[in-house]
Amino acid sequence: MVNYMAEPLVFHFEVDGDNFTSAGQASVQVKKNLRELGIDPETIRRVSIAMYEGEINMVIHAHGGVAEVIVSDESVEIILKDTGPGIPNIEQAMQEGFSTAPDNVRSLGFGAGMGLPNMKRYTDYMHIDSVVGVGTTITMKVNY
């Protein structure tokens, strides 16, 4: 990190669940913010891809949600929270290729069952907390 931070910076975003075409705005904004903070490009790439996948999932499955990004001296933490249907079988959902996305989403090039695996691939820590009928919270961390 180039800049020393006395306390973590927190960015908060609302993810619009009804607008598939604007999905990714929060991730692109985070990318900009991290670049301005002087964080290295590969870390920015990992954070923004993981967050974008999460954003897309919230739009596809949960009618949106909220995202919080916490930038500290050691890591960037991403917390994605929705009140969607929840994930009945997390182990299954984590498998590459497993997808419950509808056809209209697939025709846009999404829904290949790579979202959650990509989030894991690009982060150093990932935890899914999901209750069926209540919602899902995903916490991810990328260390510098």
User: In the complex with other proteins, which residue's Cβ is closer, 42 or 124?
Assistant: 42
User: If binding is defined by CB under 8 A, does position 63 make contact with other proteins?
Assistant: no
User: Are the beta carbons of 72 and 1 closer than 8 angstroms?
Assistant: no
- Residue closest to 60 by CA, chosen among 12, 117, 13, 99: 99
User: If binding is defined by CB under 8 A, does position 13 make contact with other proteins?
Assistant: no
User: If binding is defined by CB under 8 A, does position 9 make contact with other proteins?
Assistant: no
User: If binding is defined by CB under 8 A, does position 121 make contact with other proteins?
Assistant: yes
Strand 125-131 to 64-71 pairing: unpaired
User: Are the beta carbons of 91 and 104 closer than 8 angstroms?
Assistant: no
User: If binding is defined by CB under 8 A, does position 102 make contact with other proteins?
Assistant: no
Q: Of 2-10, 43-51, 64-72, 82-90, which segment contacts other proteins by CB under 8 A?
A: 43-51
User: If binding is defined by CB under 8 A, does position 49 make contact with other proteins?
Assistant: yes
Q: 108, 131, 132, 134: which one contacts other proteins (CB under 8 A)?
A: 108
Q: What single-letter amino acid sits at 127? A: H
User: If binding is defined by CB under 8 A, does position 43 make contact with other proteins?
Assistant: no
Task: Work out how close the CB of 138 gets to other proteins at its nearest, in angstroms, rounded to a whole number.
Answer: 16
| Chain centroid to CA 94 | 14
Q: How far apart are CA 20 and CA 68, in angstroms?
A: 20
Q: Which of residues 14-33 bind other proteins (CB under 8 A)?
A: 21, 23-24, 27-28, 31
Phi-psi region of 76 (alpha: psi -120 to 50; beta: other; left: phi over 0): beta
Radius of gyration of the chain (CA): 15
Positions in the binding site for other proteins (CB under 8 A): 21, 23-24, 27-28, 31, 41-42, 45, 48-49, 52-53, 108-110, 112-115, 117-118, 121
